[in-house]
């Protein structure tokens, strides 16, 4: 058994490792029943999909030839990781809008090819989709703006208007 496509093999192993790690982390999450699924159902399904995709991609690397492994783009990997972590850390205190802006900006810094005018348009569209989906349609209890960082009277006015 000889690996004919290094990139696919490494990608398959990475998917497999992330899927197994996510499955291990979420193993204790409640899954509920088919009629009332718990919070652990979606992470389990996504983990299994990652594991299955990783296995398929790794097997494909044995059967189909491809290009050799190139260099790692560390800047992109670091910026996307920082953007994801920043979103998770900021969402509770700074709200959805500010967290999305910071997260998307960090990810855009991952490549020197970012066209900032296009990025501004993309960000506006993503903010509208994020707000529309999570706040308006799903009614999730996520703060939209950083109410904890705003002085008391402004917070009261904000809560009166938007909640």
Q: Which of 31, 54, 70 is the last residue of a domain?
A: 70
Higher local confidence (pLDDT), 98 or 147: 98
Range of the domain at 100: 73-163
Instruction: Report the pLDDT value the prediction gives residue 17, as an integer from 0 to 100.
Output: 94
**Is 63 found in the same domain as 101?**
no
- For residue 70, the surrounding DSSP H or E stretch is none
**Is 111 found in the same domain as 85?**
yes
Pairwise CA distance, residues 50 & 19, whole Å: 5
Averaged pLDDT for residues 64-76: 80
Using CB atoms within 10 Å of the CB of residue 96, give its burial: 0 to 12 exposed, 13 to 18 middle, 19+ buried.
buried
Averaged pLDDT for residues 41-70: 88
Give pLDDT tens digits for 79-125: 999 999 999 888 888 888 989 999 999 999 998 898 999 999 999 99
**Is 83 found in the same domain as 145?**
yes
**Is 110 found in the same domain as 40?**
no
**Is 140 found in the same domain as 113?**
yes
- For residue 52, pLDDT over 60 is answered with yes
Q: Which of 24, 55, 70 is the last residue of a domain?
A: 70
């Amino acid at each position: 058994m000889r690996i004919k496509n290094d990139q696919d093999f490494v990608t398959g192993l990475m998917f497999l490792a992330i899927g197994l790690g996510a499955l291990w982390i979420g193993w204790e999450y409640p899954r509920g029943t088919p009629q009332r699924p718990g919070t652990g159902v979606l992470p389990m399904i996504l983990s299994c999909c990652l594991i299955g995709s990783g296995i398929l991609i790794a097997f494909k690397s044995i059967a189909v030839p491809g290009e050799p492994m190139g260099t790692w783009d560390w800047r992109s990997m670091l910026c996307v990781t920082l953007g994801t972590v920043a979103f998770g850390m900021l969402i509770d205190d700074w709200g959805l809008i500010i967290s999305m802006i910071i997260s998307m900006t960090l990810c855009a810094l991952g490549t020197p090819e970012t066209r900032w005018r296009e990025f501004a348009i993309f960000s506006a569209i993503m903010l509208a989709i994020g707000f529309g989906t999570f706040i308006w349609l799903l009614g999730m209890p996520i703060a939209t703006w950083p109410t904890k960082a705003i002085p008391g009277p402004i917070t009261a006015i904000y809560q009166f208007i938007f909640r």
